[in-house]
């Protein structure tokens, strides 16, 4: 379990650096708002500035169905998901790498937006990271699908502010059933483990038919 | 199952309207960034404005331990969590209400930041909403704790852009073990169900000792 993850980066091919930079800045605002709270002077002006930015973006947004078609173009390059999506300010983002042994692994450090118990990661955030990582592990293994059942076991509290290693590995495929496991560790100690049952089935992408396999 | 949830609002007593407004504006930026994408003109300038806001907030932030003590002051009024926290731009936010029958319920409509499969909610986001709702249900029932095990079953895809009803209900308490269930429905149809095992144990709050019960 390495502190710095190596392997094949499982991310989009055609990055839009300008959108990534804007999302990173929005992410920074989200963290800073929680770190500053009511102590920040000029919050009304800050709100007005953020609203002005939102209005400019909203005015430039295409109709939703057109935007959805754009978002789902290309071969599984999901730059917008809430876990690894560099264009999504909600995503930490986690960067996953495919390993030679068939597993995937990423390292991420979480701040106040992801807090559950004091100083620790929200249990539902761990579930979010693991559900996504198991899905990416299925993709890396070659057969992916939709989550049918997911079980999380919380072995010890997962700390904020220090590197977490998130791993996923496809265990077996039997017909359309896929079994996948994963874990979050901190300093080499197991914090959360996950078992998922996935079904080899996919919702249609906008402008395309339903796919299986 | 009502489209508009009634009951006792389970939210913080002493709201900071200025922080809430800033977080709501940051949330609006996050959605608008995903809705506009690379089509938005002047993204570099937008990024610069967001970074300027972040810098102002960061300069005003107290030391982290001091801020954590502030965040955890008061009687369980968690205004900062990633699900219901009005001060957290990552939270949709879900507003939960305590019902007379002992359950909790809330209604929320999710947009692009929470997308998993095309047009649908990310399975891990459903897990996040349910883990939190089960925890709040425990609090409403009178005995809360930390998640030990959580199982999610995905019955049908959960839609974006339409009202979701999220419910939770404590089933029983046996010693320090707490069993809690919950569900997400859309238009009265079950999308995701959850079963959680919680342990009546709490991490210490900053500046306070560990508590149980």
DSSP string, A129-182: HHHHHHHHHHHHHT---EEEEEEEEE-SPPBSSS-EEEEEEEEEEETTEEEEEE
A49-53, B40-44, B145-149: range with highest mean pLDDT: A49-53
Chain A nearest-CA distance from B11, in A, is 16
* pLDDT band with cut points at 50, 70 and 90 for residue B9: confident
B51: Cα separation from own chain's centroid: 26
List pLDDT tens digits, range B101-160: 999 999 999 999 999 999 999 999 999 999 999 999 999 999 999 999 999 999 999 999
Confidence category of residue B207, pLDDT binned at 50, 70, 90 = low
How crowded is residue B89: how many other Cβ atoms within 10 Å of its Cβ?
A: 29
Q: Is A111 helix (H, G, I), strand (E, B) or coil?
A: coil
Token pair in block for residue B147 = 């998640």
* Side-chain half-sphere CA neighbours of B91 within 13 A: 27
Judged on CB neighbours under 10 Å (0-12, 13-18, 19+), B47 is: buried
Run of H or E residues at B164: strand B164-174
> What DSSP string describes B41-79?
TTHHHHHHHHHHHHHHHHHHPPPHHHHHHHHT-SSS--T
Percent of chain A exceeding pLDDT 90 equals 78
Compare all CA atoms of chain A with the CA of B83 and give the residue at the minimum distance: A124
Question: What are A159-174's pLDDT values in tens digits?
Answer: 999 999 999 999 999 9
Q: Which of A85, A44, A12, A89 is nearest to B31 (CA)?
A: A89
For A110, list phi and psi in degrees, rounded to 5: -105, 145
Do residues A124 and B78 touch, judged by C-beta distance below 8 A? Answer: no
Helix extents (H) in chain B: 17-36, 43-60, 64-71, 123-141
Which residue shows structure tokens 């980066």?
Answer: A9
Rounded CA-CA distance B170/B187 in Å is: 24
Nearest residue of chain A to residue B58 (CA atoms): A32
* Chain B residues near residue A29 by CB distance under 8 angstroms: 26, 29, 50, 53-54, 57, 89
CA-CA-CA-CA torsion sign (B116, A123, B195, B130): negative
Q: How confident is the model at residue A39 (pLDDT cuts 50, 70, 90)?
A: confident
Do A122 and A148 form a contact (C-beta atoms < 8 A)? no
Structure tokens at A1: 């379990």
Surface of B (50-89) touching A: CB under 8 A: 50-54, 56-58, 60-62, 64, 67-68, 70-72, 80-83, 87-89
Q: Convert A166-203 to b/e letters by CB count within 10 Å (16 or more is b).
A: bbbbbeebeeeebbbbbbbbbeeeebbbbbbbbbbeee
Confidence of residue A122 (pLDDT cuts 50, 70, 90): very high
Provide the CA B157 distance to its chain's centre, in angstroms. 20
ipTM, 2 dp: 0.93
Structural element, H or E, at residue B178: strand B177-186
Q: Which residues of B128-140 are buried (b: 16+ CB within 10 A; e: fewer)?
A: bbbbbbbbbbbbb
Q: What is the 8-class DSSP label of residue B119?
A: T
CA distance B134 to chain A (A): 10
> CB–CB of A146 and B125 under 8 A?
no
Q: How far is B35 from chain A (nearest CA, A)?
A: 6
């Amino acid at each position: 379990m390495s502190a710095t993850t190596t392997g094949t980066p499982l991310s989009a091919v055609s990055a839009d650096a300008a959108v990534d930079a804007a999302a990173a800045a929005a992410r920074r605002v989200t963290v800073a708002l929680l770190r500053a709270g009511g102590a920040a002077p000029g919050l009304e002006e800050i709100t007005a500035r953020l609203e002005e930015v939102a209005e400019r973006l909203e005015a430039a947004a295409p109709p939703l169905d057109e935007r959805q078609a754009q978002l789902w173009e290309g071969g599984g390059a999901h730059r917008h998901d809430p876990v690894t999506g560099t264009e999504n300010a909600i995503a930490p983002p986690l960067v996953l790498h495919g390993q030679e042994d068939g597993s995937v692994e990423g390292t991420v450090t979480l701040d106040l937006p992801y807090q559950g118990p004091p100083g620790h990661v929200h249990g539902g955030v761990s579930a979010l990271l693991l559900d996504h990582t198991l899905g990416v592990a299925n993709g890396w293994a070659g057969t992916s699908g939709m989550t049918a059942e997911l079980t999380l076991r919380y072995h010890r509290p997962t700390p904020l502010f220090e590197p977490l290693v998130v791993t996923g590995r496809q265990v077996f495929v039997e017909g359309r059933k896929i079994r996948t496991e994963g874990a979050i560790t901190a300093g080499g100690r197991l914090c959360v483990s996950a078992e998922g049952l996935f079904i080899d089935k996919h919702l249609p992408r906008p402008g395309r038919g339903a796919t299986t396999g």
